[in-house]
């Protein structure tokens, strides 16, 4: 069985977060959804648990980062093409995300990012399957 990834993110407003990510095309597993949390499906092996901030706090004694003021992590997902990267960022912006930086194009790698309504930083990247050019 492949290793699964469950990323847990605190959100202020669960309904707003679900509406935002639904506009990006993601679905949610109703088996792991209630009034405190939901399980967003990225792929067969990648899931994002969106948890109301108060519920998230029950899992740790540490202070929860305010993602509008500090970076807790950068969530980076692959895309099939440069166009797919741009489409996802455009969907996010239309749904209420902020765009902190312009896209970066390194030839063999293209990336663009947004901050979701809770301040979490998301990046989408396309990489040439042949990798960077080889120096001769």
| pLDDT 10s digits, 8-42 | 999 999 999 999 999 999 999 999 999 999 999 99
58 with 69, same domain? no
Strand extents, DSSP E, the chain: 5-11, 27-29, 37-41, 46-52, 74-78, 104-105, 109-115, 121-127
The domain total for the chain is: 2
Of 63, 89, 111, which residue is a domain's last? Answer: 63
13 with 34, same domain? yes
Q: 23 φ, ψ to 5°? A: -65, -20
48 with 72, same domain? no
74 with 110, same domain? yes
Of 36, 63, 90, which residue is a domain's last? Answer: 63
Is pTM beyond 0.85 here? Answer: yes
- pLDDT tens-digit readout, 85-95: 999 999 999 99
Reported confidence tier of residue 131, pLDDT bands at 50, 70, 90: confident
Q: Which residues contact 58 (CB under 8 A, 6 or more apart)?
A: none
- For residue 113, the domain's CATH number is 3.10.180.10
In the block, which residue shows the tokens 């998230």? 56
pLDDT of 66 > 90? The answer is yes
CA dihedral 2, 116, 63, 12 (to 10 degrees): -110
Of 39, 63, 87, which residue is a domain's last? Answer: 63
91 with 122, same domain? yes
Neighbours of 111 (CB within 10 A): 19
136 with 78, same domain? yes
Q: Could you tell me the strand order of the sheet in which 121-127 lies?
A: 74-78, 121-127, 109-115, 104-105
| Alpha-carbon dihedral sign for residues 19, 24, 30, 36 | negative
> What is the span of the domain harbouring residue 7?
1-63
């Amino acid at each position: 069985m492949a290793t699964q990834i469950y990323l847990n993110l605190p959100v202020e407003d669960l309904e707003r977060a679900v509406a935002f990510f639904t506009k990006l095309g993601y679905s949610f597993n109703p088996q792991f959804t209630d009034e405190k949390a939901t399980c967003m499906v990225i792929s067969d092996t990648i899931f994002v648990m969106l948890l109301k901030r108060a519920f998230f706090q029950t899992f740790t004694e540490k202070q929860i980062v305010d993602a509008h003021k500090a970076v807790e992590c950068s969530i980076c997902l692959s895309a099939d093409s440069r166009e797919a990267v741009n489409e996802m960022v455009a969907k996010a912006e239309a749904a209420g995300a902020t765009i902190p930086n312009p896209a970066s194009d390194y030839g063999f790698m293209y990336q663009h990012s947004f901050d979701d309504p809770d301040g979490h930083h998301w990046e989408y990247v396309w990489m040439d399957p042949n990798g960077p050019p080889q120096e001769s």
